[in-house]
Amino acid sequence: MTLTARPYPSQWERHIVLEESWRIFVRPIRPDDEDLIRDLLVHVNKQDLRLRFFDSIREFSHQFIARMTELDYARAMAFIAIDEASNETLGVVQLYTDATHETGEYAIVLRSDLKGRGLGWSLMQLIIEYAKSESLKRISGQILQENAVMLKMCRELGFEIKTDAEDRGLCDVTLTLESR
């Protein structure tokens, strides 16, 4: 399959209303979103950073953030969630496809003070919808065994969960997709 670079996919912009009439604007990430990502990461506590990045990092270089924001939309997607009232960055979900464009690996990070309000669930549903639209066969990720909340959400979304063969502290999660 030959993939060519794609323009900004505005058709994936969404206005979402969560509990308590919380209005969120979700859109594909852009290269100029570096400051929004920096703001998001400031609002993620050390424990949540460790659960997401498997390391206790606190400083994020330009290169690190550029890997999140400078995407080839033919091979990757990331959605950024922004509070419509405050314009604050709330979370990001990412998906990177393999060379055959059959499998994608996802990752998600949310502000620590906003967990449990349905945002993570909505972002995961959106990245799954996107993966299906791209005719991916499956999406997968790795989650620390101790991240019970993320494992529970993956289980509820239909992911198969297995202990990683090489690192028993990790779970490999896989969702088989039916394309649209």
| Residue 115 tokens, joined | 């967990």
Which helix (H) or strand (E) segment is 171 a member of?
Answer: strand 170-176
| Residue 110 tokens, joined | 């949310």
Burial of residue 117, with CB atoms counted within 10 A of its CB: 0-12 exposed, 13-18 middle, 19 or more buried: middle
Q: What is the pLDDT of residues 69-127, one digit of tens each?
A: 999 999 999 999 999 999 999 999 999 999 898 999 999 999 988 888 899 999 999 99
Q: List the domain boundaries for the chain.
A: 10-136
- Residue length of the chain: 180
Q: What share of the chain is helix, strand, coil (3-state, %, to 5)?
A: 35, 30, 35
| Residue 126 tokens, joined | 């959106």
List the CATH code of the domain at 10-136. Answer: 3.40.630.30
Closest CA to 142 of 171, 176, 111: 171
Burial of residue 99, with CB atoms counted within 10 A of its CB: 0-12 exposed, 13-18 middle, 19 or more buried: exposed
pTM to 2 decimal places: 0.90
Which helix (H) or strand (E) segment is 66 a member of?
Answer: helix 62-69
Q: What is the pLDDT of residues 116-169, one digit of tens each?
A: 889 999 999 999 999 999 999 999 999 888 888 889 999 999 999 999 888 888
